[in-house]
Structures are given as structure tokens and as C-alpha cells.
A and B are shown apart, each in its own frame.
Chain A
């Protein structure tokens, strides 16, 4: 084994190191810890945390139920508002959502660990689910089609199935789940949790999953609109932004999202190659996930380069700290000018220094070169509008919806990252799906 070797190599670490690096990054609470933490909740009136949760989970209620050792009741309070509450407990940036709103912050700067408590409740419930928490209303004979089995589509499908309708879920990938399955850092959702959660979600019945079915290739919107009573679009963002400079055909220049997806599907991390020096260009969660996982695969130097300052990064403070704790360097105020390649292999990136000129980003005129074997592009994803066609109106390149998820087409609703507005969070996608399902139900229940 050549742990520090130059170039792109697999097997940089020992088996134990891989196992440790890709284990649960944030250990779950045990029963004692959960009871003590639950006791910290003040059970606020009209609690600010509920308002800060995009799905409106009644947080004081579920925490009180944990305190009363009623884990099933706690899980119900979570899942009835957020059917993917198990995954959201793992991936929500709680530090900018519920936990930011916690009144404990005022005196202690230490909110109740709502995310970890939510995980305790949902994990506890999934370990011993017992009788179904949710059952279906009498069959209505109505059918809806969902494009994209990610968080928005799954949430939509489950709620509609509960209301008595039948749902067919189309997804372009071999497995359902969308970003839950292909898009999160591996250490955030270990032990195949994403598929277990989806299996449980689908167990309500009435939802048929058709994988490897891409819109525009295998199914077309016009047919869906014709054949179903309603259509929900939740395809997420399939496109990846380009760097805006020449991108040579060279080994080592990659999309961060592809790398993350590959890691999620990897059965053996020692077979996943990584460079000795890695540069990640971008400032969001994807950049952090790619950078940290590069480090965890054994890369020696990993640097996130972002063209603006720390405050402008869409990765939360918590995520930035996490990256730094994992040994990632974050470099601000630099924009890529040229990807350097030699013999078909990436050798580095030349960056221009930048600064803010009254809010406008300008280059200072100076530049520097950062050597790299691997360069990840993590500067945002785009909605690929062509698949759905011109019938669906867009704004800033994404689908426009009203508060209920209605698009410009009378029979089409949409939600999740492919829609305009919001912060592109899993938990928001779940809420979009839920609201759209309620809207669709009102529309189609009477025929």
C-alpha cells in the first residue's frame, strides 16, 4: 500500500481507517442521554422551533413523549408531519432551523439537541415499529403519477396513498430515494438507512415504484397528464453548473455530485480512488460533503476554494466547522481561472484573487496556482427543464409553483429542489410533497 502516493489512487488507508472514517459522524443518543436532553425542553407555548421547522413538526410534543418514554408517540408526532423524519433527523441543518430558534440559546448558547432527539425517536420506532402508524383511507380509484422518487416525491406519494389514492412513482435511477440515496455524505446515513426508510414508507401500500424511468426518455409528461388524475414533478436538479472557464478533457476533473453518489453506492471504500491533493470549487453543502469525504478516503491535502467570503457560503457554520475539524482547508476570495492539465491528467488550478466591490465580485488582478490531482466542481446544480417541456412555466430556471405546489399546468404539481424559491433542503422538499398531496387530494377526491 502506498498511502501518500501522488496521483489518483484507491486503498490509501487501512480497513480499520475506512470503517472508522465512514461510520456515523454524529453518534446517536442512548436512552439515558435522550431522557436528560428531553428534560431540557421547556415545552414552549407556540414554540419557535415548530415555526422554524419547514414541516412544522410539533417538537415540544415529541420531546415530551420521549421524556415520558413513549417513543412510538414521539415518532408519530414527527412522522405525521414529516414522513422522512428519520432522514431529516440526520441531515437537517438544525443549527439554522429548529435549534437556532430554541429559546435555550438565549441564556446558554446551547439549544436542545432537537435533531438528535428526533433521531432517537425515529430510530427507536423503526427498530420496533409494531402496528402501522399510518393506514390508508378507503380507495378512491384515483391515480397520480410522480416523477422523481426523492424526498419531495416520496412525501407526496405517501400522503396521497394515505388519503386513499393510488400512486405510481417514476425515477430515473436504479433505486428510489433521490438525494437521500445518491446525494448525502455517507457518514450521515449509515447502514443503508435511506432504503430502509423508503421500504417502511412504501409499506403503507398503494405506491408503485418504477425505476430507471427518466422523464423525456422513458415517459413523457403529456402521457402522464393524460393517463393520471394528477402529476407531481420532483426531479430535483440533474444538471451541474460549469466552472465558466475552459474545462479540459482530463482525468481528475469531476462533478462533486457524481463523486458523492459513487461513494454512497460503494460497497468497499478501499476501492474508491482519490487524489493526494484535492481541490473543491464551491461553497455549499455539496462542496463540504465532497471535501470531507475526500479527506476520509485518505487525500493528504483537501482545500475548498470559494470565490466569496465565509458569510456568503451556503454551507452553514456548522458544516464549515465540521469540514475544518476533518482537516479540510477552506480558502476564500478566489475564483478559478484555468484548470491545469498535463498528459490528460489534472495537475492543478490557477485562481484569481477576488474581492467585493460594494457587493460586486471583482478580481484583484493577482493570481495563484494550487496543485491538485483531483478537482471537484461543486458550484451548484441546475434544473433540466427540457424533460418536462415548455408547458411548465419557469422562474430563474426552476418550476414556478404556488403555496400548494401548483404549476402553470392545471394537472401538474411540483416540489423539491426543481422548484423556485427556498433553500434546497430535504426537509423543505418533504413539506412541498406533503402540501401538494393535500392540494391534489382536494382537487381529485370528488372527480
Chain B
């Protein structure tokens, strides 16, 4: 039976699912409901110095929807907690006392002076919470005031603040990173240099959700004007997975605990983050779309997956797929795949043909003996996976690797089964001599 208990940067929780610092963790009422539902921990919505910030009273959220209004992506312009600091601290203390087995972390955001950080850390530590997360990610509003992603975009600031925090608290310090940068490894390295215990990522991406074309106004707008928000939800999962994996495989940050965040909606998403190096995961948008009850599906699905795969603990598959990520130049150029259409599953929509014909390699025929029939032309197929990607029937089109000895009818070359990459390829002007095995 799978053991879902989690220890992340020394913080224990009954499962690896925390609610991310966001509206769902705004106050005791929400957090208690979350704990009743079964969430392993919460990162309390970011607190700052008094007087509290002020939020807009018009739309704070907007969604990118599918045709039947499923939320694909989500955006917000809400700022950090708009409640007095002491109210938040009192509630945190009470909730942690009442739910000792759950993780309660405080997310913090104050101006970039050592005194400010020291003061808030002292107050937060006093609540009995399990750790702090430094909000260097929030990309809207607070960043205009030199906080949030304005800090996260400058590695030197990250390192500096992380160092202050480690000096002024015994609590584990997690640095939350913004994805609104060019290379995620630099802020992660800075966090580590500053002594942070862990990083969490990603925060939200700068975004405008759309334009009201009748009024010619950006969306969402407050009384006719809008400001970019932070984009999150299922749509950003691939971006987050990449950033998590980059930190997991970077020499300078390898081994540093990573709390994976970004579009986690199902147990499968969570498992993927863990496989690419996340020690635990944080969820926000999925809860904001469906409510806290989803935690039951997340834990049940993850436990069943682990049981099926023979993983007893999270650690058993933590980072297990990281080693499969490499630089493009290391990919095996001798590996050849061809698309195969399962005619028993094909519903004859012909989409594979038209996209291949119009936008790829003209490798799917439309007729057989005068009848509508879609078949891959191996002699044209480059194995690009476009048809697999757009086929509306799952498993109808699959990729088949040529076995050693098989001829690639496109190139006339025989598959050797031997590995060779770009670094030694004859077309590479910078090639190295192939190593003789």
C-alpha cells in the first residue's frame, strides 16, 4: 500500500499536496475547509506589512475556456492578503495548533530591506508555522512596488534576501520563483547560494486574457482599463515541468528540494512533476475551478498509480524521469520512427492526412482501392508525431521504431541500432570525431 506521507525541506505532511499561496488559502475559514477535505498542507496567502494592500473590486480573475467552458488557463490580478497582518498571524497560529499534522507555511512579501524581513520573520515564527515561502513570483501590482517578481527577476536580490532570511529564522526557507525570466536556473542558483532550503515554482506568467471587441477594452478590465495579470492553470503545466526539470538537472542546484507548481489538475500531473524532480506539489487553479474535494481524487489516483508501479513512497519515483532529459545534441539521430494508423480504430476523419499534406511531409494517403482509407506512406514519413498529436481517437495512430536491419524507405538507409548524435554528424561543421566503441 502506497505511503503518501511527505517530508519536504524538513516539513512533514500526510500527503505531498499543498495548496499554493493564493486565494484558496486566504484565511482560516478556507484553510480549515481544505484540511477537512484532506489537503496535506497550505502555503498561507502572502502576508506583508501593514497597512494592508487594497484590491480592486471589479474582476480579479479571467479564464481561457474550451468551447464547453472547461477552464484551460486562468489569470488573476489579485494582490497579496488585504487583511491586517495580525489577523493573519492569529489565524495561522490557531489553525496550526488545531491541525498539527498538516503543513502550514507562511508566504511573505515585504520591501527589500533587511529590517523588514527580520521583523516579519520574527512575527511569523511566533505563530508556530512550519516554514516560510518568499514570494518572489507575483508578477502584477506588487512588482510595480519593487516586490514579488521584481525581486525574482534579479538573482542578486534573491540571494541577498534569502541570506537575510536564513540568518533571521530557524524555519525552512523556500524561495518561490517567477517564470517571467529568460533562464530559470539563474534565480534558482541564487536561491541556493543565499542558503535557501528549497525553491517552489512556477508562479504565474504575465498575461492578458483577451480583448472585449465590442468595447475595444482589454480583459479583464476594471472600469474600462486593465493591467496584465498572472497566468496559471492547466495551460502552463508544460512550461512549469520544463523549469522544474531544468533546476533538477542543473549541476549547481541539483538536489535542492523543489516544490512543483503550475497547472497541476490531476494525480497524473502531480506524478509527472515528482518524476521530473519535484519533492512535493502545490495546487491552486484546480481547486479554484472545482473546490477542495479534488484532493481525494489526487491522493487516490496517486496511491493507485504507486501501487500499480510498485512505488512504496514518493521518494521511490522522485526525479526518476530527470535522467531522460538531455540536450538536443545528444539525441540519437539513428533512431527512426514511423507513424502507424490502426485501421480498426480509425474513424476516417482524415485530419491526419490534411495536416500532414498541408503542413508537414505529405506522408498520409487518402484512398485504398478507390475507397476512403488513410495510411501512412513510410517512404515520406519523418516520424514527426503530428498525426499522433492531432488524431481525435486515442491510440489510433502510434509510432513504431524501426528495428535494427530494417530499411528506412524514406532514406534508403538501414537501421543499425547504433547510437549517433549531432556532435559527430558529418553535417555538423563543429563535429567531433566519433568515439570508437
Contact = CB atoms under 8 A, between A and B. Distances in A.
Interface of A: 35-36, 38-39, 42-48, 67, 103-104, 106-107
Contacts of B122: none
Q: 6 closest A-B pairs (Cβ-Cβ)?
A: A45-B350, A39-B67, A45-B354, A106-B347, A103-B347, A44-B349
A36 B67 contact: yes
B348 A106 contact: yes
A106 B350 CA distance: 14
A104 B347 contact: yes
A67 B366 CA distance: 27
Contacts of A35: 67-68
Interface string B370-388: 0010000000000000000
A42 B396 CA distance: 15
B349 A45 contact: yes
Nearest to B364: A45
Contacts of A46: 350, 354, 366, 372
Contact of B349 (A36, A38, A39, A103): A103
A140 B296 CA distance: 74
B185 interface: no
A159 B354 CA distance: 32
Contacts of B351: 42-45
B360 interface: no
Contact of B66 (A39, A104, A107): A39
Interface residues of B, number: 14
Contacts of B372: 46, 48
A103 B349 CA distance: 6
Nearest to A35: B67
A46 B348 CA distance: 10
Contacts of B393: 107
Interface of B: 66-68, 347-351, 353-354, 366, 372, 392-393
A42 B67 contact: no
B67 A48 contact: no
B233 to A, nearest CB: 19
B402 to A, nearest CB: 28
A32 to B, nearest CB: 8
Contacts of A104: 347
Main secondary structure of the interface of A (DSSP, over half): helix
B354 A42 contact: no
B177 to A, nearest CB: 36
Contact of B68 (A36, A44, A106): A36
Contacts of A47: 350
A129 B68 CA distance: 27
Contacts of B366: 45-46
A360 B305 CA distance: 63
Contacts of A36: 67-68
Contacts of A107: 347, 393
Contacts of B348: 44, 48, 103, 106
A46 B351 CA distance: 9
A108 to B, nearest CB: 9
Nearest to A68: B67
A103 B350 CA distance: 10
A35 B353 CA distance: 26
21 contacts: A35-B67, A35-B68, A36-B67, A38-B67, A42-B351, A42-B392, A44-B348, A44-B349, A44-B350, A45-B351, A45-B353, A45-B366, A46-B350, A46-B372, A48-B348, A48-B372, A103-B349, A104-B347, A106-B347, A107-B347, A107-B393
A35 B70 CA distance: 12
A39 B393 CA distance: 15
Nearest to A108: B347
Contacts of A67: 67
A170 to B, nearest CB: 44
Contacts of A42: 347, 349, 351, 392
A46 B366 CA distance: 10
Nearest to B355: A45
Contacts of B350: 44-47
A190 B339 CA distance: 52
Nearest to A36: B68
Q: Max chain B CB contacts within 10 Å: which of A35, A39, A42, A67?
A: A42
A106 B344 CA distance: 10
A69 to B, nearest CB: 10
Nearest to A107: B347
A75 B348 CA distance: 27
B159 to A, nearest CB: 48
Contacts of A39: 66-68
Q: Max chain B CB contacts within 10 Å: which of A38, A39, A46?
A: A46
Contacts of B353: 45
A107 B395 CA distance: 13
Nearest to A38: B67
B349 to A, nearest CB: 4
A44 B355 CA distance: 11
Contacts of B68: 35-36, 39
Given A45-B349, A103-B349, A106-B348, 6 more contacts: A35-B67, A39-B68, A42-B392, A67-B67, A104-B347, A106-B347
A232 B366 CA distance: 39
Q: Max chain A CB contacts within 10 Å: which of B347, B353, B354, B393?
A: B347
A39 B72 CA distance: 15
Nearest to B353: A45
Contacts of B354: 45-46
A28 B372 CA distance: 33
A106 B391 CA distance: 14
Contacts of B347: 42, 103-104, 106-107
